[in-house]
């Protein structure tokens, strides 16, 4: 009987056929990305022994009674509940997180400069381009100073912003920040920040930390940028704040379904989680997955590799 493989990732028709031809001992199922009824989805998940995908829904794990190995292209592998449940059930986890800090930083600063210079207004209103203002002396508040946050801070400094950083462990030296603060000081910093970029996950901040109270503290005309962590903002409160004209814009790099409620609001810009996955990352992830599949066939689990 063939091992059932469930794939939920953007794979070309050519790659589909290649997988089927090269791995005859596996039954390849690409249908999870198609519209399915709840019953059809449950049936597919219950049969799956191997899962390959860009993202993962934790609720699906309960339904995957036959699962032996999960390969992900995202940082979801760091989710505590996911890791704990996989450990309890002896489910093998591999990953190909092709997250590149420089790509993310370039994404953030491209949006920041674009919006700061007022070019969005010209495009939205079909007016002639105005002379762009400079970013010099504008205040850039970077929340989270891990590898990604640090690279964003570095690039913001290169672009002549005054960079303030917030890190969970509190004030300390950082080479790319003019000043460093703790999370407790967030609200007091919002009123003087022109750009606020959040690179912390919802695991490290309270949900909806950007609620009505904090949004009201923000500087008029400020820009908010969220990197795949839209749960940190109360979208109803954000909608009201934007409609009142208190904020200039909110940028989300996320595919979260919650964002459907604000996608038509002027000043909201949504991209489908593109910053963390540069061009070619899906191909590289698939190459690693195929290499691991060959090791999995023969039980050579110690030779299965990851890409970080």
Domain 3-98+278-303 shares a fold with domain 101-271: yes
pLDDT value at position 146? 87
Q: Quote the DSSP letter at residue 267.
A: T
pLDDT value at position 204? 61
pLDDT tens-digit series, residues 209-247: 899 999 999 999 999 999 878 888 999 999 999 999 999
Burial 247-282 (b: 16+ CB within 10 A, else e): bbbbbbbbeeeebeebeeeebbbbeebebbbbeebb
Fold adopted by 101-271: Rossmann fold (3.40.50)
| Cα separation, 164 vs 136, whole angstroms | 14
pLDDT value at position 126? 42
The domain at 3-98+278-303 falls in which architecture? Answer: 3-Layer(aba) Sandwich (3.40)
pLDDT value at position 191? 94
- The domain ranges of the chain are 3-98+278-303, 101-271
The answer to whether 142 and 199 are in contact (CB under 8 A) is yes
The answer to whether 291 and 305 are in contact (CB under 8 A) is yes
pLDDT value at position 166? 94
pLDDT value at position 197? 97
pLDDT value at position 121? 47
CA distances from 164 to 96, 179, 184, 185, 229 (A): 32, 5, 14, 12, 20
pTM for this structure? 0.63
Q: Which long-range contacts (CB under 8 A, 24 or more apart) does 143-148 make?
A: 143/183, 143/186, 143/196, 143/197, 143/198, 143/199, 143/200, 143/205, 144/168, 144/198, 144/199, 144/200, 144/204, 145/174, 145/177, 145/180, 146/199, 147/101, 148/99, 148/101, 148/104, 148/105, 148/199, 148/227
Question: Angle, to 10 degrees, between the axis of helix 13-22 and the axis of helix 281-297?
Answer: 10
In the chain, DSSP finds a helix count (H) and a strand count (E) of 11, 12
C-alpha R_g of the chain:
22
| Cα separation, 3 vs 50, whole angstroms | 8
Per-residue pLDDT of the chain (308 residues; tens, 9 = 90+): 789 999 887 777 788 888 888 898 899 988 655 677 888 888 999 999 999 987 788 888 999 999 999 998 765 666 778 888 999 999 998 887 655 788 889 999 999 999 987 654 444 444 433 333 557 789 999 999 988 899 999 999 999 999 999 987 777 889 999 999 998 899 999 999 999 999 886 666 666 789 999 999 999 999 999 987 888 899 999 999 999 999 999 999 988 888 999 999 999 999 987 786 654 566 777 888 888 888 888 888 888 877 54
pLDDT value at position 249? 95
């Amino acid at each position: 009987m063939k091992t059932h493989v469930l794939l939920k990732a953007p794979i070309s028709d050519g790659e589909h056929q290649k997988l089927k031809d090269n791995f005859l001992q596996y039954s390849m199922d690409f249908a999870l990305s198609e519209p399915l009824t709840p019953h059809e989805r449950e049936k597919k998940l219950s049969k799956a022994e191997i899962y390959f995908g860009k993202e993962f829904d934790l609720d699906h794990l309960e339904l995957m009674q036959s699962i032996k190995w999960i390969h992900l292209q995202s940082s979801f592998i760091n989710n505590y509940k996911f890791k704990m449940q996989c450990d309890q059930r002896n489910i093998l986890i591999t990953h190909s997180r092709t997250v590149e800090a420089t790509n993310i930083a370039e994404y953030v600063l491209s949006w920041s400069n674009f919006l700061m210079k007022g070019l969005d207004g010209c495009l939205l209103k079909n007016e002639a381009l105005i002379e762009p203002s400079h970013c010099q002396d504008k205040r850039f508040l970077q929340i989270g100073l891990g590898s990604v946050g640090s690279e964003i801070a570095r690039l913001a400094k290169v672009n002549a912003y005054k960079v303030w950083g917030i890190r969970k462990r509190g004030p300390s030296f950082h080479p790319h920040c003019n000043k460093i603060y703790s999370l407790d000081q967030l609200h007091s910093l919002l009123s003087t920040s022109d750009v606020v970029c959040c690179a912390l996950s919802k695991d490290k901040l309270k949900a909806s930390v950007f609620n009505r109270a904090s949004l009201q503290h923000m500087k008029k005309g400020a820009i908010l940028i969220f990197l795949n962590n839209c749960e940190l903002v109360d979208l109803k409160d954000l909608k009201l704040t934007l409609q009142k004209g208190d904020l200039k814009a909110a940028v989300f790099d996320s595919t979260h379904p919650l964002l459907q409620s604000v996608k038509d609001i002027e000043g909201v810009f949504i991209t489908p989680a593109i910053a963390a996955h540069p061009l070619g990352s899906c191909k590289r992830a698939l190459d690693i997955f195929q290499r691991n599949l060959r090791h999995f066939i023969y039980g050579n689990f110690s030779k299965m590799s990851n890409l970080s």
